Amino acid sequence: MEIKISLPPWPRLRFLFLFILPFLILAGFLIYLVISTSIYSLIYPKERPQVAVVSAPEVVTPEVVAPKVEVAAIAATKQEEPATATAEIDHLALAQKALAENDLNTAYAEYKKVVAADASILAARSQLRGIAIRLKQIEDLKAFYEQMITQQPKEAAYLISLGTIYMTIDRNTTKAKELFTKSLALDPGNSAALYNLSVLKNY
């Protein structure tokens, strides 16, 4: 004969509260965490880190273009003749406008004019390299820097920028070391060249 045991209402409720309800609460809490984390990541997306092989800000990853060059900040520090400074600022403004409109060819041409006029604008050199990568114009950019080195042989910045291309894109460590060493002959305290050479020792 089958014996059926039926729990009275109160033991059933106690079993529910003591064993089933905690699991339901835990599951609900985990679901809440997953949903809230997803919503937060959509509202506040994380920026992609700019991982550099060598010292920032001279080098950025190929996919990331360097920060925007502030025209007003450049203008405030110019010590050149008024006409030269004005022309340079005009090229900066045109380059930034073209980049904002995703007109990479115009931006590339204008940044080359800026860098040719003043190698000290590091952000412009970084922008130029990033755009050249996107346009697959690395060989053109290398030729540009070779020309600048010929025209301005005492400017260490062009050597460093060209060395950076050989180091991070072409992976030609021998040529990169040569260029960084030459730049130190012109600017012995250049931190980017010193750091890059220290990194290249591991290659």
Per domain, the residue ranges of the chain are: 8-46, 71-200
Number of other residues whose CB lies within 10 A of the CB of residue 162: 24
Dump pLDDT digits (tens) for 9-58.
555 556 555 666 666 777 777 787 777 777 666 665 554 433 333 333 44
Query: Where is 182: in which H helix or E strand?
Result: helix 173-186
Q: What pTM, to 2 d.p., does this model score?
A: 0.60
**Two tokens, residue 187:** 């600017």
Is the domain covering 71-200 a CATH 1.20.140.10 domain?
A: no
Looking at the chain, the number of H-run helices and the number of E-run strands are: 10, 0
Structure confidence at residue 35 (pLDDT): 77
Q: What confidence tens digit (pLDDT) does each residue in 58-105 have?
A: 443 333 334 444 444 444 445 545 445 566 778 888 999 999 999 999
Q: Do the Cβ atoms of 162 and 135 come closer than 8 Å?
A: no
